[in-house]
């Protein structure tokens, strides 16, 4: 997991009308949310000869203007997980850029009345000129929790994974509940146990597609593991010495697991 801040090399700004003829970075995404890199796997510092659906100024990266753009064309496009392995500071800005790309595409028309929306003059939001409904970029908060019992960690096997990998308990926050309540509810729903001493640790932007992951640790309180055989097909307690971490550290889940292992040495 990247520990540096997105703002170390980036200044946040937004303007849907600003353009420049000077060198500038272009985050160009295709319909698969993949990012274009040149033949040397670098982000282009000049606008490629693409047909662009739109271009939005989103701030300054390494002191250059940067834009997010969208195209239907083909070329050297890379999944964001590949970008992470190629260049991690680039991944940080790309994860912001792709969310802006998604937002602009998805809110061309008002979801309340169907009117064509316009970009607000002040904020980064789409506004409906008819009913005045506003549409901000969508970010879905989700919790992920490392549940400890003595020197063991609870991990579950999810039905949607195409492997035998076990992972931490996670889920989206429901309307009206706190993030701590989401930890309690998701744990009870997925594995049937109660937890205590819930402690928030850190967060991570997770653009797959639009989450904010909120990482917790908690302690086992009571109950027996019971899975629903739908979303969760198995769950069990692992000794820290038996835990196999993920092949990549892109996710905050990897950090959580390492944190438990290091605290039990």
pLDDT score, position 265: 66
According to the model, what pLDDT value does residue 1 have?
Answer: 80
* pLDDT score for 161: 73
pLDDT at 241 (0 to 100): 86
Q: Tell me the CATH number of domain 140-263, given options 3.90.79.10, 3.40.1000.10, 3.40.50.720, 3.90.226.10.
A: 3.90.79.10
pLDDT of residue 159: 86
6-106 matches 140-263 in fold: yes
**Predicted TM-score (pTM) of this structure:** 0.93
Q: In the predicted model, what is the mean pLDDT of residues 27-55?
A: 94
Domain locations in the chain?
A: 6-106, 140-263
CATH class of 6-106: alpha beta
If one counts every other C-beta atom within 10 angstroms of the C-beta of residue 171, the result is 17
User: Using CA atoms, how far apart are residues 27 and 65, in angstroms rounded to an integer?
Assistant: 11
Q: Over pLDDT 90: what percentage of the chain?
A: 86
* pLDDT tens column, 229-256: 888 999 999 998 888 777 889 999 999 9
Instruction: Give the range among 104-108, 114-118, 180-184, 248-252 with minimum mean pLDDT.
Output: 248-252
pLDDT per position as a tens digit, 155-196 = 999 887 777 889 999 999 999 999 999 999 999 999 999 999
In this structure, what token pair is assigned to residue 62?
A: 């390494």
User: pLDDT averaged over the chain?
Assistant: 94
Q: What is the pLDDT of residue 78?
A: 98
pLDDT of residue 136: 96
For range 2-17, the mean pLDDT = 94
Taking 70 as the threshold, does the pLDDT of residue 133 lie above it?
Answer: yes
Q: Is the pLDDT assigned to residue 80 strictly greater than 70? A: yes
């Amino acid at each position: 997991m990247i520990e540096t801040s997105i703002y170390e090399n980036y200044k946040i700004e937004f303007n849907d009308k600003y353009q420049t003829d000077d060198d500038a970075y272009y985050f160009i995404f295709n319909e698969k949310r993949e990012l274009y890199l040149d033949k040397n796997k670098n982000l282009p510092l000049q606008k490629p000869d693409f047909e662009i659906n739109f271009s939005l100024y989103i701030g300054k990266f390494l002191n250059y203007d940067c834009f997010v753009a969208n195209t239907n064309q083909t070329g050297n496009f890379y999944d964001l997980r590949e970008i992470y392995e190629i260049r991690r500071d680039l991944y940080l800005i790309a994860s912001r850029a792709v969310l802006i790309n998604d937002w602009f595409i998805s809110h061309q028309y008002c979801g309340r009345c169907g009117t064509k929306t316009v970009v607000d003059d002040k904020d980064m939001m789409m506004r409906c000129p008819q009913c005045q409904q506003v549409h901000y970029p969508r970010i879905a908060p989700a919790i992920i929790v490392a549940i400890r019992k003595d020197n063991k960690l609870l991990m579950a096997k999810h039905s949607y994974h195409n492997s035998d990998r076990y992972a931490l308990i996670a889920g989206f926050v429901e309307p009206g509940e706190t993030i701590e309540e989401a930890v309690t509810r998701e744990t009870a729903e997925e594995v049937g146990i109660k937890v205590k001493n819930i402690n928030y640790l850190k967060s991570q932007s997770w653009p797959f597609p639009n989450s904010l992951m909120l990482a917790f640790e908690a302690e086992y309180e009571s109950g027996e593991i019971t899975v629903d055989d739908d979303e969760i097909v198995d769950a069990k307690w692992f000794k820290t010495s038996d835990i196999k971490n993920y092949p990549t550290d892109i996710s905050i889940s990897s950090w959580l697991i390492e944190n438990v292992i290091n605290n039990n040495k």
